[in-house]
Structure 1
Amino acid sequence: MLPIKPKAADFDLSSVVWTSSETGRTIEDPIEIAFIGENILMRNGGDKDGVILVFTQAEWDAFVAGALDGEFDYDGQDR
C-alpha cells in the first residue's frame, strides 16, 4: 500500500515561512512556497486563505525539471 500523502490541513501553518516567487518585486498575486520537512506547500499569495497545494519531494523535483525544460512556457496559443 502506498503511503498517504498529507494535506495542507495536516500541517501547523502558524509558524510556516512562506517565500514569494516575486521577492523584491511588486505583483498582485505572487505564488508563495514553503518547505516543511520533505513536503513543499504552494499557495496564491494574493489569497492567503485560499487553497494550499502539497507536493512530495519527487513531485516538486518533477515540476521544477519541467519548468526548467520549458514545459510550462506560454507560446501564445490556446491549449
Structure 2
Amino acid sequence: MTEASNNEVGTQAEDIKARKERERDELYALDISGVEWICAPGTEQHEERVEIAYLPEGAVAMRSSLDPGTVLRYTEAEWRAFVLGARDGEFDLEASPRGGGVAAE
C-alpha cells in the first residue's frame, strides 16, 4: 500500500469510529422511560429473564429482570449481528476448557 492509501484507510477507520460513537451517544440519550419491555414467552414474572424493548430506528434495549436499572442499548446493526450470530450457534453454551461453562442440552 502506498502512504496515500494508508492515510485513506486510517481516515475511513476514524470516520467509522466517530459515527459509531455518535450513534451510541444518541442511543443512550433517548428517553426510554415509557418503553414496553418484553420477554420470552413462557417465563413467569418472578423468574430471572432477559427483557428487551424496541427503540426507534430498529435499535433495541436489553436488561435483566433482576437489575432493571442497568440497560444496554444496541443499534439496529449491532442487534441484527447478535441475532444472526445466535441463530448460527455462535453463542451456544459449550464446556469451557477452564471448567467454567456448561454444555447446552
Task: State the TM-score, normalized to the length of structure 2.
Answer: 0.62
The higher relative CO (CA closer than 8 Å, separation ≥ 6) is in 1
Q: Distance in 1 between matches of 2:34 and 2:78?
A: 24
Q: Does the CA contact (< 8 Å) of 1:29 and 1:44 recur in 2?
A: yes
State the SS of the aligned residue for 1:14: coil
What runs of 5+ residues in structure 2 fail to find an aligned partner?
Answer: 1-14, 99-105
**In the alignment, which residue of structure 1 is the partner of 2:66?**
46
More strand by share: 1
Q: RMSD across aligned C-alpha pairs, in angstroms?
A: 1.8
Of structures 1 and 2, the larger Rg is shown by: 2
Contact 2:43 2:49 in 1 (8 A): no
Runs of 4+ in 1 over 4 A off after TM superposition: none
Listed as ranges, the matches of 1:31-70 within 5 Å are 31-38=50-57, 39-49=59-69, 51-70=70-89
* Pair 69,52 (structure 1): closer, same or farther in 2 beyond 3 Å: same
Deviations 1:13-51 (A, max 9, x none): 221100113x322373200000111211001111112x2
TM-score (norm 1): 0.79
